Amino acid sequence: MTTLIVILGVALVLVILYLIFKISNLVSIARAKTSVDDVDSSNGIHALLFIIFMVVGFTGFFWYSFAHFNSYTLPIASEHGAWTDTLFWITMGVTVVAFTIISIIKFVFIYQYQYKEGRKAKFYPDNHFLELTWTIVPALVLTVLVFTGLKAWNDITSPASENAEVIEVIGQQFAWTVRYPGKDNTLGDVHYQKIDAINEFGLDLTDNKSFDDFKSLELHIPKGKEVLLKIRAKDVLHSVFLPHFRVKMDAVPGMPTQFKFIATKTTAEMRDELSNPEFNYELACTEICGKGHFSMKMNVVVDTPEDFEKWKAEQESWLKQNPDYLKNVPAGLRESAILKAGIPEEAGVTYLEGVKAAGVGLN
Ligand SMILES: [Cu+2]
């Protein structure tokens, strides 16, 4: 009952408001309140406001772009980055010039051709020269931009060279994991059905290339050597972003992607260049992937090739860290798994015997 009264009350208020609006409209029409002079003066004000908007807008745009240039452009630390930046600035130059000219014409025309009593618009149906010019010139410019962009895209996504350093980057809510191929320089097979709380890569341990793969909590890359990032996602869309290397590639569930590049400055060199001993490269996620998106970043270290090899040699294989998973290795491959994973032979044999004695898991 109360609800019904409230609904009726609200409906009544709405009807009263509508009637008041209707009456005031009728009154203003009856008094002929809106004269041609009123239109004239407000037109002039609006036209002037357009010009003010244009001047304030352009001043803000150009001032910010130049005054804060260094805060939104990062130093380049990759070979293709210089080319990507050149393309970016050419595109920016072309679009800013076009944007400025078009905006000025639009705002000035609004001011210039505001309503004036007695003035009639000229009938100007078409001009072939103008139509052809503003169709052909942008078409040519866009074609050049698209094809140079396409060439850059093909360069970064084409197959990597034989001796490239292959690193897998995996996105999941809300962290990155990185897998290195180990001493054999070949990543082992993975399968999503093998993923569990510990086997987060989904390593397929029937593939002998997977035995020496190792996980890292930092992305280490060598300076001056081609790096091929193989990218995948385990849940939703993520995006690998290495801003200093001008690397950005989506991580898509079910559709592996890749990006190859060559780093040109080690972390130490970049620290010197920026006079900032605290500086670190970072890998960030640039796809809004959920509520923890902000926390998806990883430290990136660019080493000299020697330091990189040294670091790799110090890493323990995933299988060595999780010897329980030896039971998933086919019997015939277990010995080579123990060797390749760097599990001390005695420990491996002892482990296998222990499992055998317990009569579980081994196949
Ligand atoms: Cu993400």
Check whether 44 has a pLDDT greater than 90: no
Asked whether the predicted pLDDT for residue 362 surpasses 50, the reply is no
Question: Cα dist. 59→52, 62, 100, 146 in Å?
Answer: 11, 5, 12, 30
Measured in angstroms, how far is the CA atom of residue 215 from the centroid of ligand 1?
A: 19
Cα–Cα distance for residue pair 342/336, rounded to 1 Å: 10
Q: Where in the chain is the domain with CATH 2.60.40.420?
A: 165-317
* pLDDT for residue 327: 79
Give tens-digit pLDDT for 103-136.
999 999 999 988 888 888 888 888 999 999 999 9
Cα separation of 207 and 362, whole Å?
A: 17
- The full DSSP string for 210-271 is GTT-EEESSEEEEBTSEEEEEEEESSS-EEEEEGGGTEEEEEBBTB-EEEEEEB-S-HHHHH
Q: What is the pTM of this model?
A: 0.74
Q: Report pLDDT for 40.
A: 63
CA distance 191 to 284: 25
Distance set, CA 47 to CA 41, 52, 60, 112, 234 (Å):
10, 9, 20, 8, 55
CA of 238 to the centre of ligand 1 (A): 4
262-289 tens-digit pLDDT = 999 999 999 999 999 999 999 999 999 9
Give me ligand 1 centre to Cα 284, in Å: 8
CA distance 46 to 247: 46
Report how far ligand 1's centroid is from the alpha carbon of 174 (Å). Answer: 6
Q: From ligand 1's centre to the CA of 233, what distance in Å?
A: 9
Query: pLDDT confidence of 306, banded at 50, 70, 90?
Result: very high
The Cα–Cα gap between 323 and 99 comes to: 62
Amino acid 363: pLDDT: 45
Q: Which two tokens stand for residue 253?
A: 């569930």
Q: What is the whole-number distance in angstroms between the Cα of residue 278 and the centre of ligand 1?
A: 25
User: Can you spell out the DSSP letters for 118-136?
Assistant: T---------HHHHHHHHH
The mean pLDDT of the chain is: 87
% of the chain with per-residue pLDDT over 70? 92
Higher pLDDT, 214 or 43: 214
Distance in Å, CA 145 to ligand 1 centroid: 30
Is 80 exceeded by the pLDDT of residue 307?
Answer: yes
Q: Which residues place a Cβ less than 5 A from the ion ligand 1?
A: 238, 285, 289, 296
Quote the CATH superfamily of domain 165-317. Answer: Cupredoxins -  blue copper proteins (2.60.40.420)
